[in-house]
Structures are given as C-alpha cells and as structure tokens.
Structure 1
Amino acid sequence: MKVIFLLITASIAIVTSLPTTVPTSIHLPLQRTRQQSFVKRSLLTGNSNEIALINDLDLCEVAVKVQIGTPAQEFVLLFDTGSADTWIPSQQCTTATGCPDFLHHYDTDASTSHQKIDNDTLRITYGIGSAEGHYFQDIVSLGGQYINQQQTLAMIDKAVGPISQQNQATDVDHVFLDGIFGAGLPAGTVRYLQGGDIYDPLIVALYKRKMIPNPVFSVSIAQDDAEGSVILGDTHPGYNYIYTAAVGPRWSAHVTDFEFQTANETKNFQFNQNTPFGIDTGSNFMYLPEPLAQDLAKSIARNSTLNQEKSGIYVVDCQFQESRDLVKIYFPSSDYKGKRIFISIPVKELISKRESDGQCLLLFLPSNDKFILGNMLLRHFITVYDFGGSVPRIGFSPVNDNISTNKFLNEIL
C-alpha cells in the first residue's frame, strides 16, 4: 500500500508542475494602400495579440488581415468599431451584385471546417452602403498564429457602397478591402438586433476563450512614417489614457459639448443633453449635428468666405491650415463621478487639401441622424475599447505633443 500511495503522489506532482498556456503577443508590420478614386469618392460621401493596420493616410481607412477556414483563406477587412458583424464576400457575390472579381471570395467547399447555419440571414445598413447574406461558422486565425475556435461570421451575396466601388484600374498598390471586421459588442450584432440569438463577435469571443489576456483592444492609426496597429487584449504601452463610459449597443460615448478656442476668446457649444457619438474606426469624417457643424465652421472661418458643397463639405481658405486655434470635445468621466474629460485638437488638423482642385476642406460634415467621431480625428489619438467592466468604456491618449487631453475638470454638469 505504501508503494501505491507514493506512486499516486508522484503522479499528482508531475501534473501540477506542467506549464500553463498563456496568450502570446503578435505584431504584424504596417501595410499601406492608396486608392485614388476611392479617396475622392469618400470625400463626397504584457500579453497581447497585435494586428497591423493597412492605412491610406488620405482616406484613413484601417484594415487587418484575417485568415478564415481550413486551409486558411486570407482576407483584408476594414476594422470597424461601428459595427459588430464580421463578413466576407461569398462566391455567389459577383461584380453585378457588388463584389468585384478581384476581391477575395470565401469558398465554402475549400474549407473542411466550414459549418452552415440554416435560415440565419444578415441584412445590414451602414452610414454609406449595405450588405445582404447569411451567417456561418468557421475557424479564424490572425497572423496565421492565433486560431479561434468555430466563430460565427457572415458571407455576403449582395453589397452596395464603397467596398463594391473599389476600382482595380486606378488603385496604385493593388490592395483592396474584401469586407468588414466588426469590432463591436454582442448586443450590436445585426443577428441580435433583428431578434435573433446573441453571439460573441470575434474579439469578445477571443477573450472568453482565453486567447487574449484582457477584455480590451487598442487602436493606433498610422500617420506619416509612424506604424499603426490594433492590439487585442492590451493597450498600447507608454501612454496615459482618459476614459469615458460607452453607451448603447455599439461603441459610442456621450458628448456634453464642443468648444472653439482662440488666443483671445472661447466659444462653447453645449448640448441640451448628453448626446451619443460613435467612436468609429469605420468612418472617415466627423459627423456633427447640423447647427453645431454650421456654427463651428463659421467660427473657424471667421473673416473669411465659407462655402458649402452639395455634398455637405465645408470649403475654407487654405490659410487656416496654419491655424493655432483649438477645438475641444468634452465627455463625462467614467472614473470620476460628476467630472468631465476632454480631448483637444488644433484646427489645422481638421483641414485637408483636396488634390483634384487644391481646395481646403473641413473634416467634419453636418448630419441630422448620425453623430460620429471618425478616423480623421481618431488618427491623432490612441483609442482604447474596454469591455471588461459592467459598463464598457472608451479611452483616449494623444499620439504627439500637438494634441492634448485633460483628465477631468471641476465643473459638474
């Protein structure tokens, strides 16, 4: 009996001493793309997984490479915090139905891990465009190393919008967006919003399956020669973040007011109530309530002619590209009850010169129904999306000395 007891004890010691599996980080180098016609059209209308962004600086679209299926089929997907469903073109989606032939199309027969989901359709409408298809499940890997278990995704049979309108003849890098990587929350999926069962989008599923260490991801959009990336499971190190609570089923935050500040005066544009704005990597421009957009544009272009194109874009004198005036955006602090935080950006960073005619445009548009802070603003900050607490939160940190944030103010709204 003594011998048996000793053998059992030894076996337990060996099992408990085995190393545990922990997530490891991965960093993919930045890739860039410039699609000239797409740019012009857009102006009218610790431990972590780190995924590189593909960044067209003029367009400021951000995308990641994702591998789906067994063996892996690779896709370039727009990284979109404004939606929660990840979709790719099906083989049934043709140029005529919105999926150009040069895009990567998902082949169900080529994947041994593909699983069909019966009677589970997807119909989604974006700020610009729409898509129709159906859900399925398959294995997803990121960087060829981080493999997710069977993941609910969608394949699209019909699409309308910028992804459908990409032009192979005018693209200079031959890199195209195949579909959407929805980085939103479970309650923001179309399947759930249309009365179906809730499911975990890819990033949330990665955390629940213990494939990333923390319930957070962080986005840094490249500028100039800097490297852009998304970090899944951690924040970009070396930055001090300020946080506001996220609201609604998508990544949105309440905005209390905007402020325009010159060396001599300050104009405050305060909302009657906290107003949700999408903190949206899938949008380029800022979309502001129409009265605010008009007043802010007039304040910026003081003593100068302000033109508004049919598209809604404001045209200003290019002299304002040298402006030192500031625009501040205020949010309720999630860490200090009754306090506010703000992010601040120089006016010159909200103006871009159009290549086709040399006109200078403000990078915000008037809107009556959707209010968004998009990539033309977010590229100046590291943006953190934290879904670990009872209330998700969004954080900001400036990427250079020209941009600033303030932890909190003493005013109580």
Structure 2
Amino acid sequence: MDLSPASIQEAYTLITPHIHRTPLLTCSTLDTLASTPQSVADLANTPFAGLEPAHPRFRFFFKCENYQRIGAFKARGAFHALIRLLQGGEDVRTRGVITHSSGNHAQALALAAKTLDIPAYVVMPEISTPSKIAGTRAHGATVVFSGSTSEEREAVVRDLQAQTGAILVPPYDDANVICGQGTTGLEMQAQYEALVEQTPRLSVHPEQKVLDAVITPIGGGGLNAGVATYFSDKTTKVFGAEPSFEGADDCRRGLEGGVRVESVKTLTIADGLRTPVGILNWAVISDPSKVAGVYAVTEEQIKAAMRLVLERMKVVVEPSAVVGLAVCLFNEEFRRLVEKEGGDQGWDVGIVFSGGNTTVEAIGKLFT
C-alpha cells in the first residue's frame, strides 16, 4: 500500500467505526515547567555542561491514545490491517492471523480479530506485563510465549505459522499497520485546529492553526512513520523519542551512523520500545524531509516525566508513552532547537501519549 497522506485518510475512513476518537488535552503546568530553563546542575556531565541552559517556550497538546481501545494506539493499525485482509478474501477467517508483540499490538490484534470474527495467535515474550497477557487472552487470542528479543519472537512465529497456516500481521513493519497508526496524526491536527479556534490563548500563534511539531515514541517505528507520512505535505515537523538505556535508542544511533540498526536487546522500563525500527518504517524515518530528528532520554528522565503526568495531569500512562514529553523537558539538544527555531514566540507541540497499559504494582515498583 502506498504511504501517503491520502492513504492515511483512506485508512481513517475504514477504521472509524471501530476506534475511539481519543481526547487532545492541554496542561498549563507542564507548559510552564518545560518553558523553564534546566539548572546548571542538570546539565553537569553532559555535552552542555558550563553553557547557558536553553530557554524554549512550549505549548503542549497531548494526544491521549492511552484512552484508545485496549489502551494504546495499536488498535488503529490492527483494525486497518485486518479490514484490508478481509477485502482480499474470506480465507483469512479460515486460516487466522498471527503476530508477535510485548503487549499492546498483541491486545490490539486480539480485539480486532475477535470483532471481525478471525482466529488469532499471538507470540508474547515471557517477561510481558501480566496485565497485557491477560488482556490479550481476554479477547480470545491463543497466546504462545517466547524469549524477549525480536529474533526469538520471530522464530516462534515461524514455527507456529507453519503449524496453523495463519497470516502474519507484523506489529509495525507493514504498510497497512503504518497507515492505521498514522490516523493518530490526522485526528490530532483536526482536534488541534478546533481547540485553538475555540480557545485561541492555548496556542502561541492562534492565527496559524498549525502545529509546529509533533513528537512520538519510537519502538518498531509504526506510529512515528505513520504520523510522519500524514504530515509529510504539511509544515509541521515530526520528531521521534527513544529511551537510551542499553542501546534502546537504535533509531537515533542508526540515523547518526547512516545505517539501520537491526538488533536491539534492552530491558528499558519503556517496554513497548524494546524493538528495532522496522525496514519500511526506517525508510520513512530516515528521510529528513519527513522526520526532522530523533532524540533519547534516560530511565530517570522517563520516570520523572511519568510522575508529572500522573500527578499533574491525573492521566494514567505507561513509561513508553512519555518519552516524547521527557525529550521536551530534559533533552537539552532538542530544547536548544526549539529555542532557536521558535524564538520568543515558541512552539505548539503535539505529544502522543501512546498507551496506558500498566498496573498499580508496576507503577509502585518504579517509584519506590
């Protein structure tokens, strides 16, 4: 399928009956915190030590995909992929579908398959969050466990596929999945325009009604590639955000080295971002005319951003969801870019909260 803004619109038309139109929220407290320079101590032991901290101005618009069906944006791509398979023939209902996922795509495919009356098989790492495993099973999917790396997952998928004949629906490296995820950007822009029209003071430039930037988490890259595809004919800049722990910032490193990183082995707390960027997604993300840059943050910065969202916004998110906010709050390289390009006016920035599939116990362990 062609990756274009028009294909995102087509996908949206198909999936609208099956997904939630998730809210776009603002938070003046987080605007103020992000628009305050970091302390000199914060920049110690960084490349910016001894320099004047950046003083960017932010207005945030949070696309809350944690309120999406199954608690994550993945429902968009799963429904679109299965609807397209059904358009190709009814044999998918006999053969079934199969995928591998740490949890969010697993639940999304299980939900879409149950809704559309298709058998589903899901390979999940043994270390997946128990609530995500339970959620996948609750929608009727057959769950088979594997090791945690993408290579281990894919090996089990091949074996199970040989036994069942099920059709593979990749978690991110698939054009139909990418187009489904890209509808997040389409909705965000439409909601932003309506919100600024109603309340102009929310924007740094209410007369423009165009987001200056959108930042999304990057794991396999389906969300970022889809959102970048939607905005590819617009002035909005798209950025990606990753954890740096144990090499989880494979996309950032790949862009720096000029070649896609094919393997990642990390136990970052952002468990939805432990996979390498897919081949199709890399083709989009590595195109500077579509994605303006990818930035990384530490585990402590992710936890700090998550705490702010929980306590200040009263919104339940998983660690993967807040890496974009963490970049805006703590990544001095990105903050200097916003200060330089936004000037005294600043930037309106759309941030995708990608999911909220966590538990009270998991949150408690993060902050003890």
How does the TM-score come out when normalised to structure 1?
0.24
Higher strand share: 1
Higher helix share: 2
Structure having the higher Rg? 1
